[in-house]
């Protein structure tokens, strides 16, 4: 008996207007309560989402607007904040974001050893970003894996805040950003 080869997953951009519309509607509902500590009785944004089980490998286009400082650069990582990150942001006005610890390793080890080594779960990457004079701050576009966005919805349910973390390739500093499905 031979060793079973792992199956390769094919990723694709989700283009279904109806599914993207429902996803946008859910995220917009969550964004409308942004900054307010709203107690949701018996309401769960997750219940209004359609079943995405057949779209596990889909990517969703997103727009980012930096919360405070910083500008996203192309190839910047988009990550899920922890509840502690959000609590610290709410309690400390000067908190600009968590810092990724330095990971040491030889270059010969390759990228495969770096997968999953970050302290925050990466769900996507910025494809275009910089300072936006129109928005008066950092802004960008990117793609996130759909399953990662659903995890962000779970965090939002617990914290009532709709934010993600963005980390440029040249720094260990994460910055907070608002995310919108496009």
Span 26-49, pLDDT tens digits: 776 666 654 444 334 444 444 456
Contact at 8 Å (CB) between 85 and 150?
A: no
Phi, psi of 125 (to 5 degrees): -140, 150
Read off the pLDDT band of 14 (50, 70, 90). Answer: very high
The average confidence (pLDDT) of the chain is 81
* pLDDT computed for residue 170 by the predictor: 93
Task: Find the mean pLDDT for residues 44-64.
Answer: 77
pLDDT tens digits along 116-172: 678 999 999 999 999 999 989 999 999 999 999 988 888 776 666 678 999 999 999
pLDDT at residue 73 in the model: 97
Residue 21 and residue 27 in contact, taking contact as beta carbons nearer than 8 Å:
no
Asked if 71 and 129 count as a contact pair (C-beta separation under 8 A), the reply is: yes
């Amino acid at each position: 008996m031979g060793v079973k080869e792992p199956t390769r997953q094919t990723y694709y951009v989700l283009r279904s207007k109806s599914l993207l519309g429902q996803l946008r509607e859910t995220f917009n509902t969550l964004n409308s309560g942004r900054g307010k500590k709203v107690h949701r009785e018996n309401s769960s944004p997750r219940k209004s989402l359609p079943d995405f089980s057949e779209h596990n490998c889909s990517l969703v286009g997103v727009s980012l607007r930096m919360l405070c400082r910083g500008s996203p650069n192309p190839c910047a990582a988009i990550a899920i904040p922890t509840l502690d990150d959000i609590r610290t942001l709410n309690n400390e006005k000067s908190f600009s974001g968590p810092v990724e610890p330095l990971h040491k390793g030889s270059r010969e080890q390759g990228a495969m050893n770096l997968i999953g080594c970050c302290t925050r779960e990466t769900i996507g990457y910025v494809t275009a970003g910089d300072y936006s004079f129109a928005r008066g701050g950092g802004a960008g576009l990117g793609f996130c894996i759909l399953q990662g966005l659903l995890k962000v919805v779970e965090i939002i349910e617990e914290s009532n805040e709709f934010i993600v973390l963005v980390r440029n390739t040249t720094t260990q500093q994460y910055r907070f950003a608002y995310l919108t499905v496009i």
